Amino acid sequence: MNADNRYYWPHKDLLDVTQLSGMDTLHLLDLAASFQEINRRPLKKVPTLKGKTVVLFFVENSTRTKTSFDVAAKRLSADTYSLTKSGSSLNKGESLKDTALTLQAMGPDVIVMRHASSGAAAYLAKGLSCAVVNGGDGWHAHPTQALLDCFSLREAWEGRFAGRTLLILGDIAHSRVARSNVHLFSMLGTRVRLCAPRTLLPAGVENWPVEIFSDLSRAARNVDAVMCLRLQLERQQVRLLPDLAEYSRRYCLGSAHLAMAGTDVKVLHPGPLNRGLEIADDIADAPASLVLNQVAAGVSTRMAVLYLLATRRDGKPT
């Protein structure tokens, strides 16, 4: 494991990829690659964070993010404690601030938080001395998902982001994953395209550093990777699509679309997958699919995040 302490990690918290520089990002990805080697060993555990405590504070439902943070912390020998809204005093009317202060009094080193309200993690971080990781807040940001997506494609693209083209397909309007990925990949020199019905594009998207398409056949031409997004019907306050069958016909990624892409195109999906609606069944399981690579990358990347935050003291890494 190459945990290079000579690098100055300047961040107390990880709230959004917008706070990261290119050097921050590449250092974190290099560190994640070191941890990935640990995850391939027969005994997948090191004492790196022994004695540290990580609280998983998930007010919103999660499977992949919560589990991978839990696995990541345990593989670094940290102690983990889980808290959900139904199992906390938030369910009794306690404010988020008071719940956070209660948690801090227990002395955690890192709190990983998912919340339905945009800005909730940043609000928490302002009042707490321990590190806070945003595990997803509303439609706003999901930094560790973007980092693991970046890690997965860096491996597939042999470390070269500049000159590549990434297509993000689907429900852009309600996707914190899309927002974080657009910023991170653009910063690293990747051209980003978006493809969605007009009703599933966010306000102000014309000011993003992207090309916008409504026709998937055109959007998929000569791309190096396609990231499909889940159609988030639960976040839509009004019905934005007249017919799901029509959406699937026009925006479900299939083999015909991949034939228009680059010769070694890769396919990603942050999950959970709605097969036949966002991505064809055979494409989800095809050799081009990096879906399971993303899951594995999630553990390694989150190990790197926890290490950097839990070992940082007084503005300098230990």
38 and 137 in a single domain? The answer is yes
| Total tally of structural domains belonging to the chain | 2
- Verify that 252 and 266 share a domain, yes or no: yes
Do 276 and 211 lie in one domain? The reply is yes
pLDDT tens, residue by residue, 281-305: 999 999 999 999 999 999 999 999 9
Question: Is 6 a member of any domain?
Answer: no
Report the distance separating Cα 64 and Cα 51, nearest Å: 25
Is the pLDDT at 4 greater than 60? The verdict is no
Check the annotation: does 313 bind a ligand: no
Does some domain include residue 11?
A: no
**Entry field: residues in the chain:** 318
Q: DSSP letters along 58-94, please? A: ESS--SHHHHHHHHHHHHTT-EEEEEESTTSGGGGT-
**Is the sign of the CA dihedral 113, 116, 120, 124 positive or negative?**
negative
Q: Sheet holding 53-58: strands in order across? A: 79-84, 53-58, 110-115, 131-137
Residue 2 lies in a domain: no
DSSP-assigned letters across all residues of 147-191: HHHHHHHHHHTTT--TT-EEEEES--TT-HHHHHHHHHHHHTT-E
For residue 39, what are the β-bridge partners? none
What whole-number distance in Å separates Cα of residue 184 and Cα of residue 189? 9
Q: One-letter amino acid identity for 308?
A: L
Check whether residue 185 and residue 261 sit in a common domain.
Answer: yes
Q: Give the integer Cα–Cα distance in Å for 24 and 269.
A: 24
In whole angstroms, what is the distance from residue 193 CA to residue 226 CA? Answer: 9
Q: Where are the alpha helices (DSSP H) in the chain?
A: 22-39, 64-75, 96-105, 120-127, 143-156, 176-187, 216-219, 244-251, 255-260, 281-284, 291-310
Indicate if 27 and 169 belong to the same structural domain: no
108 assigned ligand-binding residue: no
Is residue 90 very low, low, confident or very high in pLDDT (cuts 50, 70, 90)?
low
Distance between CA atoms of residues 128 and 191, nearest Å: 37
Residue 98's pLDDT is 85
Residues 94, 42 share a domain: yes
Establish if 12 belongs to a structural domain: no
Q: How confident is the model at residue 97 (pLDDT cuts 50, 70, 90)?
A: confident
Residue 103 lies in a domain: yes
- Does residue 149 sit in the same domain as residue 290? yes
> Residues 24-72: pLDDT tens digits?
999 999 999 999 999 999 999 999 999 999 999 998 888 899 999 999 9
Q: Is the dihedral of CA 29, 33, 38, 41 positive or negative?
A: positive
One domain for residues 199 and 305: no
> Would you say 176 is a known binding-site residue?
yes
Question: Is the peptide bond preceding residue 287 cis, with omega within 30 degrees of 0?
Answer: no
Statement: residue 242 has pLDDT above 80: no
Query: Does residue 211 share a domain with residue 182?
Result: yes
In a domain? residue 4: no
Task: Render pLDDT for 302-315 as a digit per residue (tens, 0 to 9).
Answer: 999 999 999 987 54
Q: pLDDT tens, 166-183? A: 999 999 999 999 999 999
Q: Do residues 140 and 182 make contact, with C-beta atoms less than 8 angstroms apart? A: no
Structure tokens at 176: 């914190």
What is the domain-level CATH number for residue 164?
3.40.50.1370
CA nearest 255: which of 285, 294, 290? 285
Interacting residues of 313 by C-beta distance below 8 A, sequence separation 6+:
none
- Note the pLDDT of residue 234: 63
309 with 133: CB under 8 angstroms?
yes
Same domain assignment for residues 65 and 86 = yes
Asked if residue 65 belongs to a known ligand binding site, the reply is yes
Q: Is 64 annotated as a binding-site member?
A: yes
Q: Are residue 169 and residue 130 in the same domain, yes or no? A: no
To 10 degrees, the CA torsion angle through 171, 173, 174, 179?
100
Residue, of 113 and 316, whose pLDDT is higher? 113
Global confidence as pTM: 0.93
Domain that holds residue 30: 17-141+297-317
Produce one character per residue of 159-181: b if its CB has 16 or more CB atoms within 10 Å, e if not. eebeebbbbbbbbbbbbbbbbbb
> Domain check: are 136 and 170 in the same one?
no
Q: Are strands 312-313 and 316-317 parallel, antiparallel or unpaired?
A: antiparallel
- The answer as to whether 3 is a domain residue is no
Report yes or no on 8 lying in a domain.
no
Consult the annotation and say whether 114 binds a ligand: yes
272 is known to lie in a ligand binding site: yes
